[in-house]
Structure 1
């Protein structure tokens, strides 16, 4: 009898503790929004920022060089700063557009209820192309930016001249190891909102094999845009809404010559996805760069950028 009473008291105590924790955690996860950084990326002073106003968003972009159009789309949690070494090389022969899509950089989303899934991000690419009067262009996308570009190329093959995918998910296959963390209700909100500058810096280092390249100056350029509350919300929504069954099912629809580049030391997505992805896309080739991480164009620019340049040429 005493044991039964003690068990009941313990259960009631644990229930009270759980209720108290939920009372504390729920407002943090769902009601509280941490303020964004007051810092300003100094990279903005080195570029000619342009804006394209549409019903969907006010797109922040740059346009550099002259020649056939190439549109660069950065990965999740990044912005066009990620292309700083790529732009001047490609601009020798192309008009290079580096654009921030919704959840990235300094683009302002206008449309309420934007779903942050593959169809929505594909629409965003098309909306931007229309806004800058591009009927077609070559697309270069990294990571999520590559997945969005791939989906757009599947749905609108007539608008994509060439397609370059850098460590880009597109198969219904292995996901990034942190995926369950962000996809779990409550936990995903907590992790996203409680991410500090240091934690964000560690995450960026995890996408590089050459860790020394992730400098304080780099984080100074990346952190302010990621810390923006709207960008954080979009970032979390993308973790939950991107469904690669859609891209996997449409791979045969891609008509553009396609180059798949992958870091052989990618810790986010296994490099064996490169050959598997290229094998499913008509007129595609895959190159795996040994000793390079997920952000392959920044981790190994000397190896990666000439491959992109030669392919687009």
Structure 2
């Protein structure tokens, strides 16, 4: 958890400094405009990028392959680009959708009253599935995306064929060490607003065991969508509103066969949670991959992707 501790100290230090210099800190947070990334996505020129319009949102997603449906849901602060190595392999036998949910990527939310909690994110998943005409599907979710997928599987077991959770919170247990930063009024706003490209890069690097994989190209794809004000606001709201007591209480309702994959060197959530999470579900197995970080499918694709493929096939 070393990175999380460092992030918390830096964020708190920045927040305290700004509060001391500018007593009306809330107005400072709203007046300061974070630098936005304006690089167009090269990745989207190489894949089939689509939008589907609903009353809730204009969902952005990519689609590839043919066969039984698989929906990929990225973690917090990420988007469908996170699945760039997973999707092509799964698409050999499945129709693969990588969707951006509210607060992610290029999806545009229409509802100002969207709650950014587990029920709301599960509703977003259902809305997207209905919009593309998918009744039952396999869900593969990473981190927060896994928590949203897990809650959806608890509430709608009839719609989930299989479930894959990658380093996903779901237990009412130890949280990511930076959680108090974002939950603290004013401090959370400042930490979110002050996350420029450099700070964002440090954050992403902290989710990898293989730091060399966090390249300029990767940040060129990930940072521009995160820099959008609506996505930043949603990101902060999710930190404050996700209540894992809900997923913890419903674990026994997950009827779908489930694979829980975890990076053994995850610095955000302890890998011991993998076995605890799987042990609470009726038909789940846990696999911990040594030497891999929190973003396990990007950090260790050669170890992660075959596990997912074998489980789905």
**Band of TM-score, shorter chain:** over 0.9
Distance (whole Å) between structure 2 residues aligned to residue 18 and residue 165 of structure 1: 39
Q: In the alignment, which residue of structure 2 is the partner of 1:120?
A: 120
Matched, 1:135 2:135: yes
Higher Rg: 1
Preserved contact between residue 34 and residue 196 of structure 2 (Cα < 8 Å): no
Higher mean alpha-carbon deviation, 167-176 vs 17-26, is at 17-26
Partner of 1:14: none
Aligned to 1:193: 193
Structure 1 gaps of 5+ residues are 1-16
2:148 aligns to what SS in structure 1? helix
Structure 2 residue aligned with 1:3: none
Matches within 5 A, 1:214-229: 214-229=214-229
C-alpha distance in structure 1 between counterparts of 2:84 and 2:202, whole Å = 21
Change (3 A) 1:189 1:302: same
SS of the aligned residue for 2:170 comes to coil
Instruction: Determine whether 1:46 maps to 2:46.
Output: yes
Aligned to 1:169: 169
Judged with a 3 Å threshold, the aligned counterparts in structure 2 of structure 1 residues 19 and 109 are, in CA distance, closer, same or farther, namely closer
1:247 alignment partner, SS class: helix
The answer to whether the 8 Å contact 2:72/2:141 transfers is yes
Deviation at 1:30, TM superposition (A): 3.5
Residue 13 (structure 1) aligns with: none
| Aligned length, in residue pairs | 297
CA contact (8 A) 1:35 1:229 kept: no
C-alpha contact 2:103 2:232 (8 A) present in aligned 1: yes
- The TM-score, its normalising length taken from structure 2, stands at 0.92
- Deviation, structure 1 residue 274: 0.1
Distance between the aligned counterparts of 1:47 and 1:312, measured in 2?
Answer: 22
Query: Could you tell me which residue of structure 1 aligns to residue 151 of structure 2?
Result: 151
Deviations 1:205-224 (A, max 9, x none): 00000000100110011010
Judging changes above 3 Å, is the alpha-carbon distance between structure 1 residues 247 and 19 closer, same or farther for their aligned structure 2 residues?
Answer: closer
Instruction: Tell me which stretches of 4 or more aligned residues in structure 1 moved more than 4 Å.
Output: 17-20
The secondary structure found in structure 2 opposite 1:212 is helix
CA drift at 1:39: 1.9
Conserved? CA contact 2:162–2:258, under 8 Å: yes
Question: What do the CA deviations read for 1:189-244 (whole angstroms, capped 9, x no partner)?
Answer: 00100111011000000000000010011001101011011000000000000000
* 1:26-37 equivalences in 2 (<5 Å): 26-34=26-34, 36-37=36-37
Alignment correspondent of 2:230: 230
Change (3 A) 1:19 1:152: closer
Structure 2 unaligned residues grouped into runs of 5+: 1-16
Which residue pairs with 2:268 in the alignment? 268
Q: Distance in 2 between matches of 1:18 and 1:92?
A: 52
| In structure 1, C-alpha distance between the alignment counterparts of 2:194 and 2:20, rounded to whole Å | 20
- Alignment of 1:83 onto 2:83: yes
